[in-house]
Structure 1
Amino acid sequence: MHRSIPILICTSALLLAACNGAPDPATPPAASTPAATPAPATSAPATPDAAADARVALSADGPHWFGYGQLRWGMTPEEMQAAFQPGTLSRPAGVGTDDTCHYLVPGNSAGDVRLMVEEGRFVRAEFLTPATTAPGGGQVGWSAARVRATYGAALAETPHKYEEGALYLRIKAPEGDGVLLFETDASGTVTRWRMGVAPQVDYVEGCA
């Protein structure tokens, strides 16, 4: 009878330990998982202005709605020469030599390009061969039908002043003051074209 007391005491102690949730010494403690380190914040790249980018791209060389290469409508001859470096601009003899209105020719244009200056300001550029392409793709040698299809509703056409059946095909710039004007012969083929600002872009005889 007295021998059963220690056994009951030990059994009660084990049950009490189990109820208190004592850890099993044979089981290693669970490893703690470190908190995830947040990725450093990165600022989104600045979004360039699409119109500005397009304008810069167009200004590298050749004609565009705002002028020719680095040259802009309204520049003085001195500003034109400075902007055209390292090239040169010269005044050809016998072509618009009057100081009120005259032409400058880029040294690398092989006679294809003439730049009109009137009253001391750059107002017009003329293109005489297929070597140069207009904004939108037009050039010497295109048909009037192709010009119409390319420029669509922006185009207005009028009869040529001197040649029956020939046309002037005029396109206003989508922005700014520029105007693009194709000149055709009687068969409807573009023989030359020009860009500039009004009224000079519409002069029929150049400086005359």
Structure 2
Amino acid sequence: MQNKLYPFMQNHFDGLVLRPSLFYSSKDGLRFEISIPGVNHLNKRNLKQIKDRTTRLFDQVFKDSDDILLITDVHTMKDDRFLENRPTKVYQKYVRRKDIRYKLFYELFHIEEEDENMVTHRFILPCQKHDIRYQPLLMAISYEDFPHPTQLLKGSQHAGIDIYFVNVTRKMIFHLYDDRGCDIIASDKENLRSLYRECNNWILDYDRVQIDDMMNNQ
């Protein structure tokens, strides 16, 4: 299957490399605070805020008819056999239809600037919003740094994971990097306008000046 990600990134994001942190490597982006600072992750109020904010942001970025690339990057040591013995369960658990999973594209690569002993296993699935159990997936991402049954890489202490939702139709990328925050970037900042206006009080204060300047300058 043809890899659709790289021509998309080349044509719409000036060849941006898809990796954290998207907000600081992109010209037009927003960074939102997700969890409640200083509150235990398992606090009911905190979990409710995580669920409410991630769901609302996702629903703002992705419409039912949009074409999406669901991308999972698993970062491991070169000699780690984790993925051979137990493939990432993102697509098994959070993609509704088995026939959709047959479209999964896989590649193995090494980012030169990183540790030479580290590699990234990348999985790319073309799909649409209704194909993804996105609400429980977003919650699973938020749990990844905590001991919990939904941990995506449970059982591998030497692996890390990043999940990106790429809106091919609207030229936007959604990255919940952990329970603390979420980056949303766009090829045209006007596609960020409604998020900036309606979820303004969720913007991380640390990055607010940069975001305000980006959105308000021509």
Structure 2-normalised TM-score? 0.25
Q: Which has the larger radius of gyration?
A: 1
Relative to total residues, which structure has the larger helix share, 1 or 2? 2
| Higher RCO structure (Cα 8 Å, ≥6 apart) | 2
